Amino acid sequence: MSRFAVIIPAAGQSTRFGGQQKKPFLPLAGRPIWLRTVELFVTRPDVEQVMLVISPDDREEFQRRFGPNLIFLDIDLVDGGAERFESVANALAKLRDAVTHVAVHDAVRPGATAELIDAVFRRAEQTGGAIPALPVADTLKRVDGDLRITGTVPRQGLWQAQTPQAFRRDWLCDAYARRHTIAEAITDDAQLVEACGHAVSVVSGLVTNFKITTKTDLDLAELLHRATHDLPTEPKPGRPFDDESY
């Protein structure tokens, strides 16, 4: 059986979201978004290690508020870097020996399901690398700096990438070791692995597996979570470490 490590980057500045708190630490149905996301992975029998990557500036407050969560859920806390790729590289340096595959999942993408994760992990085992994605349904326009349309982009064969993105350990570690030698601008882990000569497969993603980028996204995530979970108005007794104020 393959053993997966899951890296969850949460060290970004949340500049597009605004507000005083960073997105991963905002409440979603009474629990922090990062915790909702982590809970997708911590009880899986094929997950050997879960790593949450945060800014060093957040570590003291995070440990104070959520230290018991880290112990209870066996989560490794990793200091992030100035950019996302540096944060993931820091986590890769701390992989446990038993890990055979590595998945990277956005901390603010709590809408994945066990079935979707199953599909991505199994496909990564079969092919070496896999991501969830959705075929582009809307017409795409290319626009210039003055917001004038300069062309229409054919959407045939275009898919919108999601996470978790999962790969063989050696593929991803090698790709990160070589990332500074790659000339093209890299926007996700799959592109980095592809640039190193490996083919990455796609499985069908979910509309609900969207990334929370704006306050509207958070409102939608709240509605979806309450619609798909039998949640009380208050946290259940016995579920430790809920923090509705963060």
Query: Which domains occur in the chain, in start order?
Result: 4-228 (3.90.550.10)
Beta bridge partners of 131: 202
Please give the pLDDT value at position 240. 46
Within 10 angstroms of residue 111's Cβ, the number of other Cβ atoms is 23
Rounded (5°) CA angle 210-214-215: 110
| Residues 64, 74: Cα–Cα separation, whole Å | 16
3-class DSSP state of 30: coil
Please give the pLDDT value at position 20. 58
For the chain, the distance separating the N- and C-terminal CA atoms, rounded to the nearest angstrom, is: 38
Please give the pLDDT value at position 13. 65
For 63-81, the pLDDT digits (tens) are: 999 999 899 999 999 999 9
Please give the pLDDT value at position 159. 96
Please give the pLDDT value at position 230. 57
Please give the pLDDT value at position 227. 85
Please give the pLDDT value at position 233. 43
Residues of the chain with pLDDT under 70: 13-21, 230-246
